[in-house]
Amino acid sequence: MHADLVILNWHLFASGAWMTLQLTFLALAIGFSIALPAGLARARRVRVVSPLINGYVYLFRGTPLLVQTFLIYFGLAQFEWIRGSWAWTFLRDPWWCALIAFSLNSGAYGTEIIRGAIVTTGKGELEAAWALGLSRRQVDWLVLMPSALRRSLPQYGNEAVFMLQGSVVASVITLQDILGAGRTLNARYYLAYEGFLAAAILYMAITFLLVLAFRGLEGRYLRHLRPRGVR
Amino acid sequence: MTRTLRAAIAAVALAASGPALALNICVEGAYPPFSETAVDGSIVGFDVDIANALCAEIGEECALVKVDWDGIIPALLEKKCDAIVASMSITAERMAVIDFTKKYYQSPPMMIAAADSGLVATPEGMAGKVIGVQRGTTHNAYLDKYYGASEIRLYASQDEANLDLAAGRVDAVMADSVALSLGFLKTDRGAGFVALEGDFYEPEIHGAGVGIGIRKEDTDLRDRLSAAIDAIRANGTYKEIESQYFDFDIYGGEN
Quick one: pLDDT band at residue B20, thresholds 50, 70, 90?
very low
What is the domain count for chain B?
2
Does the pLDDT value for residue A142 go beyond 70?
Answer: yes
Q: Is A180 on the interface with B (CB under 8 A)?
A: yes
Cβ pairs bridging A and B (under 8 Å)? 50
Q: CA-to-CA distance for B147 and B79, rounded, in angstroms?
A: 36
Is A228 a member of any domain? no
What is the chain A residue with the closest CA to B68?
A187
Q: What is the pLDDT of residue B87?
A: 95
- Contact state of A192 with B156 under an 8 Å Cβ cutoff: no
Name residues whose C-beta falls within 8 Å of residue A83's C-beta, 6 or more positions apart in sequence.
A77, B167, B168
Residues 6+ apart with CB under 8 A from B247: none
User: Considering just the CA atoms, what is the radius of gyration of chain B in Å?
Assistant: 21
Of B136, B163, B168, the CB nearest to A92: B168
CB contact under 8 A, B135 and A184: yes
Mean pLDDT computed over B167-192: 93
- For residue B73, the chain A residues in CB contact (below 8 A) are 190
B218 shares a domain with B186: no
pLDDT for B16 equals 45
Task: Please state, in angstroms and rounded to a whole number, the distance separating the CA atoms of residues A70 and A64.
Answer: 10
Mean pLDDT of B5-23: 55
What are φ and ψ of residue A3, in 5° steps? -65, -30
What whole-number percentage of chain B has pLDDT above 90? 76
Domain with B187, as residue range(s), is 109-205
Residue B4 has a pLDDT of 62
Question: In this structure, are B162 and B230 located in the same domain?
Answer: no
pLDDT (mean) for B217-240: 96
Give, for A33, the enclosing helix (H) or strand (E): helix A10-44
What CATH code is carried by the domain that includes residue A136?
1.10.3720.10
Q: Do residues B215 and B200 both lie within one domain?
A: no
Q: Does residue B178 contact residue B250 with C-beta atoms inside 8 Å?
A: yes
User: B16 with B27, same domain?
Assistant: yes
Check whether B17 has a pLDDT greater than 80.
no
| Residue B252 within any structural domain of the chain | no
Confidence of residue B7 (pLDDT cuts 50, 70, 90): low
The answer as to whether B33 is a domain residue is yes
**CATH code of the domain containing B134:** 3.40.190.10
CA gap A114, A111 in Å, rounded: 5
Q: Which residue would you say has higher pLDDT here, A24 or B246?
A: A24
pLDDT score of B11 more than 90: no
B73 to A190: CB separation less than 8 angstroms, yes or no: yes
Determine the pLDDT at residue A189: 84
Q: Is residue A96 very low, low, confident or very high in pLDDT (cuts 50, 70, 90)? A: very high
Whether B47 and B211 have beta carbons less than 8 Å apart is answered as no
- Split at pLDDT 50, 70, 90, the class of B5 is low
Question: What per-residue confidence (pLDDT) applies to B8?
Answer: 57
Confidence of residue A1 (pLDDT cuts 50, 70, 90): confident
- For residue A227, is pLDDT > 80? no
Report pLDDT for A231.
56
pLDDT tier at A225 (50, 70, 90 boundaries)?
A: confident
Q: Do A184 and B154 touch (CB under 8 A)?
A: yes
* Whole-number percent of chain A with pLDDT over 90: 86
Least reliable range by pLDDT among A63-77, A113-127, B18-32, B151-165: B18-32
Q: Which of the residue ranges A172-176, A225-229, B40-44, B168-172 would you say has the lowest mean pLDDT?
A: A225-229
Q: Given an 8 Å threshold on Cβ–Cβ distance, is B169 in contact with A83?
A: no
Residues B136 and B156 in one domain: yes
ipTM for the predicted complex comes to 0.80
Give B107-160 pLDDT, tens digit per residue: 889 999 999 999 999 999 999 999 999 998 999 999 999 999 999 999 999 999
Q: Is residue B75 part of a domain?
A: yes
% of chain B beyond a pLDDT of 70 = 91
**Distance between CA A182 and CA A198 in Å, rounded?**
7
Q: What is the mean pLDDT of residues B172-201?
A: 92
Helices (H), B61-202: 72-77, 92-95, 138-146, 158-167, 177-180
Distance CA B255, CA B243 (A): 22
Residue B252 has pLDDT above 90, yes or no: no
Give the total number of structural domains in chain A: 1
If asked whether residues B62 and B179 sit together in one domain, one would say: no
B144's CB contacts (< 8 A; 6+ apart) are B152
Q: Is B45 left (phi over 0), alpha (psi -120 to 50) or beta?
A: left
Whether the per-residue pLDDT at B167 is higher than 80: the answer is yes
Residue B190 placed within a domain: yes
B207-230 in b/e form (b: 16+ CB < 10 A) is: bbbbbbbbbeebeebbebbbebbe
- pLDDT confidence tier of residue B3, bands split at 50, 70 and 90: low
- The answer for residues whose C-beta is within 8 angstroms of residue A108's C-beta and 6 or more apart is A56, A57, A59, A60, A61
Cα B175 from Cα B137, distance rounded (Å)? 8
pLDDT digits (tens, 9 = 90+) for B32-90: 899 999 999 899 999 999 999 999 999 999 999 999 998 999 999 999 999 999 999 99
Per-chain mean pLDDT for chain B: 90
Coil, helix or strand for B151? Answer: strand
What's the whole-number mean pLDDT along residues B82-107? 94
Domain that holds residue A209: 3-222
In a domain, A110, yes or no: yes
Domain-located, residue B253:
no
B149 and B162: one domain? yes
CA distance B84 to B73: 8
Instruction: Determine, yes or no, domain membership for B255.
Output: no
